[in-house]
């Protein structure tokens, strides 16, 4: 057994970022270690999705100051595909439809580019089909989806399952799942959540970005962070999420106000 202290995967320090000349993040700090599950909660517009896009390197988002280190290396200069290859995975809130591009082909190219990074052999069409069929079971997805264009005409739930399938294939070190639970019915939520649970791993970590507590009934986070106005304003354990569910976001506002008053 490995008893040494768990390694830091992601370290974000005093991150300020903007999109379309509007600043959204005002000093985010976050430390994520191996084996941990973090949940980030907050109202719409609090900066949760922006944070995920910045970590993944979306070109429309500009980092104004601060740093993001992945396993001790600064990743801010890396292109999005390079971040993906080292093992950063973003599960999109709204996965984009790409008509004409075969889902199977897309998954294979993506998987091979990650495998190349891991110095594993690249898979040919047949080998890949075997792999993908096995991984499909994790998300209980119909193989027919492989024959279609990327996300094209998929329902909300099917798109999210396709995201988790990609996660299963890319075997990321850190998965940032942006509102993966939104728009899912109970069954789909259960499938997606069990997929995430099956894929979690002592050497990897997960960030769940969510608006509601219900996903957290299925996946137990080690830490819960609350974001407001582009900052993490409170960190706690699962209880915090439950409090939040009970009393709503107003209770945070009140808390922070009290704090400010106390100062």
Partner 1 sequence: MNQTNTVEEIVSQPYKYGFITDIETEKIPKGLNEDVIKLISKKKKEPEFLLKFRLRAYEQWLRMKEPDWSGLNYSKVDYQNLVYYAAPKQDIKKKSLDEVDPKLLETFDKLGIPLSEQKRLSNVAVDAVFDSVSIATTYKEKLAEHGVIFCSISEAINEYPDLIEKYMGTVVPINDNFFAALNSAVFSDGSFVFIPKGIECPMELSSYFRINSGDTGQFERTLIIAEESSSVSYLEGCTAPMFDTNTLHAAVVELVALDNASIKYSTVQNWYAGNEKGIGGIYNFVTKRGECRGKKSKISWSQVETGSAITWKYPSCILQGDNSIGEFYSIALTNNFQKADTGTKMIHIGKNTKSKIVSKGISAGKSKNSYRGLVSISPSAEGSRNYSQCDSMLIGDNASANTYPYIQSKQPQSNIEHEASTCRISEDQLFYLQSRGIDFEESVSMLISGFCSDVFNELPMEFASEADKLLALKLEGSVG
Q: Which residues in the 54-73 window bind partner 1 by CB under 8 A?
A: 56-60
**Paired residues of 207 in beta bridges:** 38, 176
Helices (H) and strands (E) in the chain, counts: 9, 12
For residue 95, state whether it binds partner 1 (rule: CB under 8 A). Answer: yes
- List the one residue from 8, 13, 18, 149 that touches partner 1 (CB under 8 A): 149
For residue 84, state whether it binds partner 1 (rule: CB under 8 A). Answer: yes
For residue 177, state whether it binds partner 1 (rule: CB under 8 A). Answer: no
In the complex, least distance from residue 175 CB atom to partner 1, rounded to whole angstroms: 12
For residue 170, state whether it binds partner 1 (rule: CB under 8 A). Answer: yes
First CA to last CA distance, the chain: 47
For residue 99, state whether it binds partner 1 (rule: CB under 8 A). Answer: yes
Q: What angle do CA 237, 13, 263 make, to 5 degrees?
A: 65
Nearer to partner 1, 37 or 170 (CB): 170
Written as one string, the DSSP assignment of 12-45 is EEEEEEEETTEEEEEEEEEEEETT-EEEEEE-TT
**C-alpha to C-alpha distances, 215 to 3, 126, 158, 179, 203, nearest whole angstrom:** 31, 36, 17, 9, 22
For residue 90, state whether it binds partner 1 (rule: CB under 8 A). Answer: yes
Where on the chain is the footprint of partner 1 (CB under 8 A)?
Answer: 56-60, 79-81, 83-85, 90, 92, 95-96, 98-102, 105-106, 109-110, 113-114, 117, 149-150, 166, 170
């Amino acid at each position: 057994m490995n008893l040494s202290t768990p390694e830091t995967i992601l370290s974000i320090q005093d991150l300020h970022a903007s999109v379309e000349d509007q600043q959204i993040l005002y000093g985010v700090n976050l430390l994520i270690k191996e084996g941990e599950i973090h949940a980030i909660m907050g109202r719409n517009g609090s900066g949760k999705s922006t944070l995920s896009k910045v970590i993944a390197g979306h070109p429309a988002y500009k980092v104004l100051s601060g740093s993001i280190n992945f396993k001790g290396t600064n990743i801010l200069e890396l292109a999005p595909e390079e971040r993906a290859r080292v093992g950063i995975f973003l599960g999109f809130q709204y996965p984009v439809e790409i008509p004409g591009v075969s889902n199977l082909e897309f998954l294979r190219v993506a998987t091979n580019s990650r495998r190349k990074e891991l110095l594993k052999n690249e898979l040919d069409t047949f080998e890949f089909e075997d792999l993908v069929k096995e991984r499909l079971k994790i998300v209980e997805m119909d193989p027919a989806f492989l024959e279609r264009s990327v996300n094209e005409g998929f329902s909300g739930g099917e798109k999210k399952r396709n995201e988790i399938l990609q996660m299963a294939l890319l075997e990321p070190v850190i998965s940032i799942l942006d509102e993966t639970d939104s728009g899912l019915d109970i069954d789909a939520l259960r499938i997606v959540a069990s997929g995430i649970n099956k894929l979690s791993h002592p050497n990897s970590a997960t960030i769940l970005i969510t608006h509601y507590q219900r996903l957290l009934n299925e996946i137990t986070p080690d830490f819960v962070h609350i974001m407001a106005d582009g900052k993490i304003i409170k960190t706690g354990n699962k209880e915090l999420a439950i409090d939040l569910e009970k009393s709503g976001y107003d209770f945070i506002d009140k808390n922070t106000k009290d704090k400010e008053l106390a100062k």
